[in-house]
Amino acid sequence: MSDLDRLASRAAIQDLYSDKLIAVDKRQEGRLASIWWDDAEWTIEGIGTYKGPEGALDLANNVLWPMFHECIHYGTNLRLEFVSADKVNGIGDVLLLGNLVEGNQSILIVCVFTDEYERRDGVWKFSKLNACTNYFTPLAGIHFAPPGIHFAPSGA
């Protein structure tokens, strides 16, 4: 594997990692479906395992999106290990902040994602993703609000 191929692969995989988070936050079905191989598995501890692009959409549409009014993921500490030229293992941390539908309150969730990426026919996608939740903490009495909601217009 050349240094250039390794760098290009890292960039493609970092985009996949971000695409996963952006797709869930922005409720972008096309982006979410496009990042999985048909035989991929997405496991979220305590929720279940979902297979392929259809499973990812099922998880989003029937579990994740109904749970939140809105959410935002912050992904960090992505570390990639090349197993071969076409297979990479990754680990990264994710912080999620959001407003739950139930109870109309905010929540903080912290997970460790262990991922497997594969390149097939020159394209990198997820082959496995495992989300292990470290914290699932409702923030009692807190509801995240958009900027400006707490400020009266001048002259009011």
73 catalytic per annotation: yes
- The 10s digit of each residue's pLDDT in 6-43 is 999 999 999 999 999 999 999 999 999 999 999 999 99
Q: Which of 19, 25, 58, 93 is catalytic?
A: 25
∠ CA 8-40-81, nearest 5°, is 40
**CA 102 → CA 16, 59, 69, 71, 140, distances in Å?**
30, 18, 9, 14, 13
What's the confidence (pLDDT) of residue 105?
87
What's the confidence (pLDDT) of residue 1?
82
Q: Which of 3, 5, 15, 73 is catalytic?
A: 73
Residue 145 pLDDT more than 90?
Answer: no
Per DSSP, helices labelled H in the chain are: 3-26, 29-33, 52-59, 65-67
Domains of the chain: 3-141 (3.10.450.50)
What's the confidence (pLDDT) of residue 14?
97
What's the confidence (pLDDT) of residue 119?
98
What's the confidence (pLDDT) of residue 75?
97
What's the confidence (pLDDT) of residue 141?
83
Q: Give the H/E segment covering residue 133.
A: strand 123-139
What's the confidence (pLDDT) of residue 154?
59
- Range 76-90 average pLDDT: 97
15 catalytic per annotation: no
What's the confidence (pLDDT) of residue 3?
95
What's the confidence (pLDDT) of residue 35?
98
d(CA 17, CA 19): 6
What's the confidence (pLDDT) of residue 81?
98
Of the two residues 13 and 148, the one the predictor is more confident about is: 13
- The 10s digit of each residue's pLDDT in 100-140 is 998 778 999 999 999 999 999 999 999 999 999 999 999 98
Task: Please give the model's pTM, rounded to 2 decimal places.
Answer: 0.89
